[in-house]
Chains A and B, each alone.
Chain A
Amino acid sequence: MAGRIKIRAQKKGELTEVKALMRHPMETGMRKDQAGESIPAHFITEVAVLHGDQTVMQAHWGAAVSANPFLGVRFQGGQSGDAVRVVWTDNQGGTGEGETTIR
């Protein structure tokens, strides 16, 4: 369940557009559950978008990024059929990754 990423990547002229949706609660640590207990902070802290071996974007996130986060990015270059990967780590040491090919 955790760690999933749904990615779409397609050419937009010279650019490649990547849209990624990630499965993650992005818990801020400021909420309480039904029993009144604090729900621990659990959020993605680092995300990278890779085209082949190249990191085209690296993001540092705080807990204010929405739950089940979305990331859209465009980068120069890329050909149909190239691999695009998205990887993340969170504040509890969890990781996620996903891969697609550019359409």
Chain B
Amino acid sequence: MNDTIKGRVSRRRLLNWAAALGALMTLPARAWATGSRPETAFDATALDQALMALGQTPTRHEGVIFTTPDIAENGAVVPIRVEVDQTVLPNVSKVSVLVEMNPNPLAAVFDIAPGTEVYIETRVKVAQTGNLYAVVESDGQLFMASRETKVTLGGCGG
């Protein structure tokens, strides 16, 4: 049993996966429809532009639990975590992560299967000190939390 399987760009593998995905699409009602890639939002070069492309300006909600470091050792790898307290904010279908000062603020969008926990961890590039946003969609409405993360430099530079 392999925990890691080397995947090359092989046509067969691609077709297998496409077939599997296609099969998923035809599953009965229990299956859920994942969202399509929000291309316009990814292309946006300003925060408000990206948010509008995602749907609307979100309102703050304490049910969005967003964890980022106050100060990052470097801007290339900044760990973040988004959780949602579903007792106060249920039916979350989507989580988006935005980095305000990046050339393209939208970093990632996560489609969440219905009825499951909202707990996402990843690592993002943060170009410079600024605000990070976790935006969640619940019943068509957008809610968010934001935090400032300072990006530091180490070493002698040059």
Whether A and B touch directly in their complex, counting CB atoms under 8 A apart, is answered as yes
* Residues of chain A contacted by B3 (CB below 8 angstroms): 6-7, 98-100
How many B residues are at the interface, by size bracket?
A: 35 or more
Q: B117 contacts A69, CB within 8 Å? A: no
Q: Which of A56-76 contact B (CB under 8 A)?
A: 56-67, 69-76
**SS class, residues of chain A in contact with chain B:** strand
- State the total of A-B contacts with C-beta under 8 angstroms: 146
Q: A69 contacts B125, CB within 8 Å? A: no
Chain A 79-95: CB-based contact to B (< 8 A → 1; otherwise 0): 00000000101000111
The interface size of chain A toward B, counting residues with CB under 8 Å, comes to 49
Taking A55-B24, A65-B123 as contacts, is the C-beta distance between A75 and B113 under 8 angstroms?
yes
| Candidate in A1, A94, A101 with the most chain B CB atoms within 10 angstroms | A94
* Residues of chain A contacted by B32 (CB below 8 angstroms): 55
Asked whether A15 is an interface residue with its Cβ less than 8 Å from the other chain, the reply is yes
Asked whether B87 is an interface residue with its Cβ less than 8 Å from the other chain, the reply is no
* Residues of chain B contacted by A96 (CB below 8 angstroms): 7
Q: B125 contacts A30, CB within 8 Å? A: no
* Residues of chain B contacted by A60 (CB below 8 angstroms): 35, 37-38, 42, 108-111
Taking A55-B34, A70-B122 as contacts, is the C-beta distance between A64 and B99 under 8 angstroms?
yes
Q: A15 contacts B117, CB within 8 Å? A: yes
Q: B1 contacts A73, CB within 8 Å? A: no
Bound complex: CA of A66 vs CA of B131, how far in Å?
17
Bound complex: CA of A28 vs CA of B27, how far in Å?
35
Q: A45 contacts B37, CB within 8 Å? A: yes
Q: A6 contacts B4, CB within 8 Å? A: yes
A interface vs B, CB < 8 Å? 1-7, 15, 17, 19, 28, 30, 45-46, 48, 53-67, 69-76, 87, 89, 93-101
4 further A-B contacts with Cβ under 8 Å, apart from A60-B35, A73-B119, A74-B116, are A61-B108, A73-B120, A75-B116, A76-B116
